[in-house]
Structure 1
């Protein structure tokens, strides 16, 4: 029984002190919370990838860089990990894109959701690397884009439609 306990203890020896536990918790919680913020915005708008998806993407990206970093990986190894995250999220994002809605083959849907997942992975990566301020600022900027741009585009589109109507009545 002593050997079993020693083996179990050795398996959990990757966390050496309270500071390391706190560091892991802060980074992973930060990634999860920031992913949830973007996911809530997407879910609120009725999009397919919502809170849970964004949280998992962000948390996964954070863990993918945190674990090798804690294991002593050098910058080149972390660079390869980040490249893998970017490629993997590209495949996930591609699954959210639908083409040809309602018989119109030129209509593409899901690009913003795919880009949002890509951004969420980048935010999780930043949090996992201990760049919490960068992750927070990036989340706020992404939220600003996601929340304010639709209204701005709609307003600009409405103004263009009014100009077209005015020009049509002049002729």
Structure 2
């Protein structure tokens, strides 16, 4: 299968390589295989490929991915073949304050990301894509959408009547607008 990998260390945009890699392995217990259909580019991904976030040479970048489940391992009950899914940015952070250990599992820097055709990963690495979203739309939720939601409702606890200043026109700002208005 095809993938994009970082080249020389420290990485540069010019050193990205489009390569053949081994096919994704069959899912084991608790894992799913996903045919990736879309990924979204965030500043995080730019920082990885520019070497601002250190990664090993050959890292597959892109922290956000969306696609279709093609195989399900034993014990997985929340997904079925054919489900549309979107990746999670912190697969190991389930609740509470983020632990520093959660950062080691961030796709695209701590582990290989989604700039490839297929991936086999823990079922916790994905969640169902919203109904009616294309794969391209769903792929934008992972980093930018959740960052905006967390800033407004976890870090701040936005309430009706609060005033919100949204600065810029990047992904986080664009998601913050409808979330704040709702």
Q: Given the two structures, how large is their TM-score scaled by the length of structure 2?
A: 0.25
TM-score normalised to structure 1 length: 0.26
Give the greater-gyration-radius structure (CA): 1
Which protein has the bigger strand share? 2
